[in-house]
Structure 1
């Protein structure tokens, strides 16, 4: 029998780059929402720009936190951010710690992404490929925003890319260091300004055939662009780059996209990545959050 995971404060699931709540019948957080709601959690998925800087998305998140507080009567919220969503959550908690009970980073690039570094180097500033890439990516983001019901937000793909590089996140961290480890690969402060900080992430498995899990195959291909954290990344984010606050674990056998949805392949990962969200809701409940 499943335990009751009704947290004291509502949970907001914050999507990352090119993320959304729903397109037609497809929900990005469908598996997570179903599992958490079945366990008794109150859930919301804020609408944010599909592509933009961490600060811009963080400001949008702050506005929607206020809406949730007004609508529920709650005093605070628990933020669970996937990928770039973790940086928006950190921004919100740094600026308004009085309304954020906890920040949980799931596969968040809290020290930048080597993949973003590679893309940034490939796009020479001011030259045609950069302009073309920005135009295509921004138009794609505009389309996602339109069909997902978030057309009121502006998009800026180049700002998003710059915000995810090691240099870009480094500048972000200089302004918002809450929860960051003092040593590379270490644990960060578990609580800052009354806000609890947690993180978990994975490492893309190397022994699964691409035909059995095509999405994981893509992540494995992208993982080859990592040098500092070679074979210690989920295809988008390095294992130690993801560390924030209390590190629950950073080497789950799951790729970047698999940390938010159940596998579409023939082989299901162990442990179940969606079950980790329920476990965490229980952790938040036990901490009276």
Structure 2
């Protein structure tokens, strides 16, 4: 009996090679150990003039080894007034990191939806406390069971006002850990946090639950045509260090279709085989 050893997509769906090829990218996938954590999740939508895409998918190494996806991502748009997004990256050494990441995303977005104020839309984000959402997620991850450090995870949360103001759509971002956030404008990714390239973050101090450091916060405005990008390290590191940055800047110059977005996250480059997760919010024109 001859077994066909070829594996992976072909033709237009073959992952884009943006550097030396990763051997694990062409190895057969092994099913993960948890039935409720699929290989990939995908979401997309349009809210007013905002286009939104999000995906989380196992990295090549996790697929090859049959390990669980440790990243998580979530989107919501409470009452169509604000777009919320969250990305969490479970710490690799933590045995239940995937659970922590999913808890963090769920409770951060749930808190923001619960705390959304009623009343006029003007200045809405002034009353939306994304840092408080991170604290709510921290409590949930810590109280989910014994040995909370087994659920260690980063968390980055964003809120974008659907109603444009002067210059565009106001946004707020907060995080614990090193999962990056960017604004994509004029073909370049501008980092919103001062991460040091090559810096190794201590998971004992830069992750939920009970981080030692404060929640980092940043605010800004998305001008028409710009995009806010939340990512896990599996996207953020190769984006900064390889040709993947130029590739994604071109691919995300305009909102791609949902399936195309997922395909773009599957870029193939050796040594960058972590889980791939991103949530991207594009600001269109008011007439879009």
- What TM-score do you get using the length of structure 1 for normalisation? 0.30
Greater relative CO (CA pairs within 8 A, separation 6+): 2
The alignment's TM-score, normalised by the length of structure 2, stands at 0.30
Choose between structure 1 and 2: higher strand proportion: 2
Bigger fraction of residues in helix? 1
